[in-house]
C-alpha cells in the first residue's frame, strides 16, 4: 500500500548569522541518483512518517504554536536526510588550510573581502542583465567597496603610526 506524501513549503528570507566551527570537516551527502530512487523510498522510516502524520493531523485539529511547527519541519528534514545518508552515503569535504603568507595588503580585511565579493557578483550580473537597476546597484556597491577599503586603510595607518 502506497501513501503519497505531499509537502508544501512557503519560504521567507531571513538573515541569520551563524558561526561555524571551521576545524571540524563538514559531512555532505553524495548527489542524487535516479537509479537509487526505490532504495531511497525503502530507507524512509515508516514509523517516523506515521508519527509526523499524527502530529500534522493534531495540528489541523487544534491550534498549534510555532515551536510545534518547527519540530515537525525538523522531523521531516531529519527523516529525509537520514534516508539520503543511508542510500547515497556521505563524504567529508577536505578543508584547505590557509597558510600564513605575508600579505602585500595588510589592511585588506574580511570586511573588504566581503564588499569586493558583493561588488564583483553585481558586476557579473550586470554583464548578463544590463538594465538601469543593475547598473545603479553596481555603482552603489562599487562606492561602498571603495568606502570600506578607504576606511580600512585609514585604520591600518593609524595602527602603524602608534
Q: What is the pLDDT of residue 97?
A: 61
Q: How far is the C-alpha of 98 from the C-alpha of 81, rounded, in Å? A: 31
Domain boundaries, the chain: 27-92, 110-161
Q: Which residue has the higher pLDDT, 38 or 96?
A: 38
Confidence of residue 91 (pLDDT cuts 50, 70, 90): confident
Q: How far is the C-alpha of 92 from the C-alpha of 25, rounded, in Å? A: 6
List C-alpha distances in Å: 11 to 52, 90, 101, 135. 20, 27, 42, 28
Q: What is the pTM of this model?
A: 0.46
Instruction: Residue 142: name the closest of 123, 125, 156, 128 by CA.
Output: 123
pLDDT at 139 exceeding the cut of 80: yes
Grid cell locating 127 = 554583464
Q: What is the pLDDT of residue 135?
A: 94
| Long-range contacts of 32-39, Cβ-Cβ distance < 8 Å, separation of 24 or more | 32/84, 32/88, 33/88, 36/87, 36/88, 39/87
Q: What is the pLDDT of residue 132?
A: 93
Q: What is the pLDDT of residue 138?
A: 95
pLDDT in tens, 11-60: 666 665 555 555 566 788 888 888 988 998 899 999 999 998 888 888 88
Q: Produce one character per residue of 54-92: b if its CB has 16 or more CB atoms within 10 Å, e if not.
A: ebeeeeeeeeeeeeeeeebeeebeebeeebbebbbeeee
Q: Which residue has the higher pLDDT, 141 or 65?
A: 141
Strand partners, 28: 91
Amino acid at each position: 500500500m502506497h501513501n503519497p506524501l505531499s509537502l508544501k513549503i512557503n519560504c521567507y528570507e531571513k538573515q541569520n548569522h551563524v558561526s561555524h566551527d571551521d576545524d571540524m570537516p563538514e559531512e555532505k551527502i553524495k548527489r542524487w541518483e535516479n537509479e537509487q530512487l526505490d532504495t531511497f523510498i525503502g530507507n524512509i522510516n515508516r514509523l517516523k512518517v506515521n508519527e509526523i502524520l499524527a502530529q500534522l493531523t493534531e495540528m489541523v485539529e487544534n491550534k498549534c504554536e510555532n515551536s510545534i511547527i518547527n519540530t515537525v519541519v525538523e522531523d521531516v528534514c531529519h527523516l529525509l536526510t537520514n534516508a539520503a545518508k543511508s542510500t547515497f552515503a556521505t563524504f567529508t569535504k577536505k578543508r584547505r588550510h590557509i597558510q600564513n603568507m605575508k600579505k602585500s595588503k595588510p589592511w585588506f580585511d574580511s570586511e573588504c573581502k566581503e564588499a569586493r565579493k558583493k561588488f564583483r557578483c553585481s558586476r557579473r550580473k550586470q554583464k548578463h542583465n544590463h538594465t538601469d537597476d543593475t547598473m545603479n546597484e553596481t555603482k552603489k556597491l562599487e562606492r561602498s567597496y571603495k568606502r570600506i577599503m578607504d576606511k580600512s586603510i585609514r585604520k591600518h595607518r593609524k595602527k602603524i603610526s602608534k
